[in-house]
A and B are shown apart, each in its own frame.
Chain A
């Protein structure tokens, strides 16, 4: 009990240090909670969106590529044993026109008499369907857009522009919530008319008997389905979105692992300082009869308590962070976040990691504290002699670095599974920290020498103080090194990816003008297709040399995976310029092969399915599974590379794809201005978007700049944490040097010289840590780049960004100097008489 009191009073007497320790734990724990909770929340929101649409349906029948099929199949489906009800629907994307703007909308054609067996609708205003006229919309969405019951809304679908009266509003529940309420429910017949598909549907929802086994029913239905139709659980539609979420999860997971490593080092450094500062009091406790075990127990309990308090606070902060992250992620997926998906998982993980991290960080300081002898409490304090570098630690560092380095190289070269690369990379990075103590003397001496014209004698004094406290200095350099190497590794990988996206876009989407109905949702690839008839209108414009229609098709199954299909008019493309970022295959042959019915596969899909150029891939078509020859492998960013490219005419036959998501217009260079004016008039007439190549590039740049800004944000946050560590170390150094600083002040030193000595310590530590970190960061980035093809299937050119390297270097040093300012001011303001008696 008395030792608890001692601990609590000690923590209270140094609130700044305790706050730094807690802050490190809070940051790490909140990152764990925020990433895990937001990830499951977004995933659930995304799945719920489709679950609401699916209602009570356990299975659904669809055609490949979402194409329409004859509704005559419905009665046959209903006769399959285990099927209670088969409900036909026709759904499709549309563009909604309002005075305030245009937005992506969905039309859902339902059979009013049968659909309630699957989905619930609650009317809050207006009336339900009397005949085949009118649409029902979710009340909140409609009111937000100023739509009233009785208004007419304008919709653009693949068959052209149409107007439809709103006959009622639905309560925000069930299927009405799909696409955040942006769905018009019309009768099946109306939808068929609107999309020009009489007697056709594109999905059948199946409600099963309570006793039915869904898997058995699925097999039975698959047997009677004609080629091109497939039966699956409705939530399979959410699978592609999950793929995209997974890559985001991996990125965030890496970020929080990095946060955990940094936090552990900062906490270790802080605890070591705490123990160092309390050394005398620990010795008194030992002299008065406290055993080694009691001292160790006391400190481990202190670590545990700080870990628990920090974890509790981190969980609260993490929940707030999770809410913000979930909103941002759900917005990208057009899903609605009603409440955070809170389950025990992330909290158990955080509950283990937070206190565990604090306990692990406290182990070494507690062990050292246990070794404090009572004699230290009986003797007056004497100046610490310089701690020598431990040969054992150096040897351990060299052995671990060699072993982990070899394992890393073996993983990259394929001798070990590539999954080993990440843990061995982290272990390799941490092993190098053990070599820092041996490098500390020569490297800091060299830095002091190089910076002598700037630092002068202050530099020499600073260097000696740094070496004198080898462990503390090592950990500070270690924080800078680990933070920067991981940050730069991640940063370079992101920048190389960004550049790869730009290159891909510049190679694949080449044209003078781009006509679209709406901006595509980049996360889900949802867009509103335009009627194909527009192609002829655009081609008829004088000066236009070619018009290429591009269609992005979802719900396509290739090599047994849910993928996206990109359908293009290769006939309309320049025969001398292949608009693909080809990574394998003969560029001179690929276009001809595509026109002949071959396909080009995205690198990620090729990697996952183990497909090579010249090989074959099975595509599920309206005529059943078809084996198609792979003419080439291309780098692609549509659906994260899970994509298959087909000639549009071929895809029309195989997948029944209609409409166009983009028209790429190419024109005579001499007539660009006139062509633009005429296309603009056509677009205005049809309420379409017109983008020039420069506009498209600018939009992409804006998006990519956002990613790069986010990267700088993360890097700066990491550096600020490292800055705390530097400030902490220097404060401790100042405290320990109080007597010496006073003596130097009495003998000769001016306040300015004292300040310079402390700042010089920051400069030397900073230059060492930052340089080491930047070099290691480059190595880490290069290794990451080497591992990427094996992990993701995407090969990306490795380019070092001088602005990132230089920017990181300068920003890191500025933050370190700012962090050193307070300790320097403290040293300058010492009261000489008191300081001379300081122990």
Chain B
């Protein structure tokens, strides 16, 4: 069953003379519990695709269905509510609020949706425990390492129990050890929590952890392959073209 589906998705920027086509008709389906990696050279449209999937940007034409709702047909407030409840974001630069503690950062989207303080704290703590950083819950971001900050960001994305988790270069600002830990964490979330993840990355090693790899070039899907993971999953996979 599809969590998200795009139909003939196009996105263009600029006016006539300076018009740039970032996406030229993308058809993509992501199923529940799937871990999809998107790769491609700079300017291929991978970030634009992720933003449209997350409802932070609207397509020039085409449709994006999240759990059956066309995001392109919603107004800003409706898309905001969907983001608040169904989509989790993980950013390359973590994007934690510097004046909030780890726990408060994780509880933020829950508080915004009107959940009681007690319940949001409980769920924030669960999410922090899930990513293994509950012991640092009272620290502000500046007191955490890059890897720890990214784990807090993942916990924040998970706390709302999203239908889909969108990760934009989640290991881009991390060293190899921390990058490895974050990748393993994402893999574990898919395997153990059945979390759907769409991840944009430049790192082939990170992409190799995904179940499926989509390569973009000039706004089009160049290839879309399913990767069969073996145990241990890290850096061991087989490739198989998706029908």
Contact = CB atoms under 8 A, between A and B. Distances in A.
Chains A and B bind each other: yes
Interface of A: 1-3, 5-6, 9-10, 12-13, 280-281, 284-294, 373-375, 377-378, 380, 839
**A-B residue pairs, 3 tightest by C-beta:** A289-B84, A9-B99, A2-B111
Contact of A377 (B81, B95, B104): B95
A374 B81 contact: no
Contacts of B99: 6, 9-10, 12-13
B180 interface: no
Contact of A373 (B56, B104, B168): B56
B51 A378 contact: yes
Contact of A374 (B56, B85, B98, B100): B56
Given A287-B83, A378-B89, 12 more contacts: A10-B99, A281-B98, A285-B97, A285-B108, A288-B84, A288-B156, A289-B85, A291-B80, A374-B83, A375-B51, A380-B92, A839-B93
A181 to B, nearest CB: 60
B32 interface: no
Contacts of B156: 288
Contact of A293 (B77, B89, B92, B113): B77
B51 A288 contact: no
B113 A281 contact: no
Contacts of A1: 111, 117
Contacts of B51: 375, 378
Contacts of B91: 377-378
A294 B99 CA distance: 19
A5 B93 contact: no
Given A284-B97, A289-B109, A289-B112, A375 B85 contact: no
B27 interface: no
A798 B150 CA distance: 70
Contact of B56 (A9, A10, A378): A378
Contacts of A10: 99
A290 B111 contact: no
B76 interface: yes
A5 B84 CA distance: 19
Nearest to A2: B111
B57 interface: yes
B31 to A, nearest CB: 24
Given A375-B56, A378-B89, A378-B95, A9 B100 contact: yes
A742 B139 CA distance: 29
A531 B13 CA distance: 96
A289 B85 CA distance: 8
Interface in B111-130: 111-113, 117
27 contacts: A2-B112, A3-B112, A9-B99, A10-B99, A13-B98, A284-B96, A284-B97, A285-B97, A285-B112, A286-B80, A288-B83, A288-B84, A288-B108, A288-B112, A288-B156, A289-B81, A289-B109, A290-B80, A291-B76, A293-B77, A294-B112, A374-B83, A375-B51, A375-B57, A378-B56, A378-B95, A378-B168
Contact of A289 (B92, B95, B96, B113): B113
B166 to A, nearest CB: 10
A289 B56 contact: no
A290 B93 CA distance: 20
A276 to B, nearest CB: 16
Contacts of A9: 99-100
Contacts of B100: 5-6, 9
B109 A288 contact: yes
Contacts of A287: 54, 56, 83, 89, 95
A1 B99 CA distance: 15
Interface in B20-35: none
Given A13-B99, A284-B97, A288-B112, A5 B104 contact: yes
B199 to A, nearest CB: 14
Contacts of A293: 77
Interface string B24-66: 0000000000000000000000010001001011000000000
Nearest to B173: A380
A284 B95 contact: yes
A380 B89 CA distance: 15
Given A2-B108, A378-B95, A291 B83 contact: no
B55 to A, nearest CB: 9
A290 B95 contact: no
Contacts of B108: 2, 285, 288
A288 B81 CA distance: 9
Nearest to A286: B80
B52 to A, nearest CB: 11
B2 to A, nearest CB: 23
Given A375-B57, A378-B51, A292 B76 contact: yes
A313 B47 CA distance: 49
A373 B55 CA distance: 11
Given A288-B84, A288-B108, A6 B97 contact: yes
A2 B106 CA distance: 12
Contacts of B89: 287-288, 378
Given A375-B51, A839-B93, A289 B83 contact: yes
A746 B56 CA distance: 37
Nearest to A287: B89
Nearest to B57: A375
Contact of B93 (A13, A374, A375, A380): A380
A373 B76 CA distance: 10
A13 B97 CA distance: 12
Contacts of A286: 80
A684 B99 CA distance: 78
A584 B229 CA distance: 106
B146 to A, nearest CB: 11
Interface in B123-162: 156
Contacts of A2: 104, 107-108, 111-112
A836 to B, nearest CB: 15
A771 B85 CA distance: 55
A380 B172 CA distance: 12
Contacts of B98: 13, 281
A6 to B, nearest CB: 7
A291 B77 contact: yes
Contacts of B47: 378
A476 to B, nearest CB: 27
Residue of B89, B96, B168 ringed by the most chain A CB atoms within 10 A: B89
Contacts of A12: 99
A764 B24 CA distance: 48
A274 to B, nearest CB: 13
A426 to B, nearest CB: 38
Nearest to B50: A378
B176 to A, nearest CB: 19
B95 to A, nearest CB: 5
Contacts of A375: 51, 56-57
B12 to A, nearest CB: 16
Nearest to A6: B97
A374 B55 CA distance: 9
A99 B17 CA distance: 96
Nearest to A373: B56
Nearest to B92: A380
Nearest to A10: B99
A184 B89 CA distance: 87
B121 to A, nearest CB: 12
Nearest to A374: B56
Contacts of B117: 1
B218 to A, nearest CB: 21
A9 B156 CA distance: 19
Contacts of B80: 286, 289-292
Contacts of B83: 287-289, 374
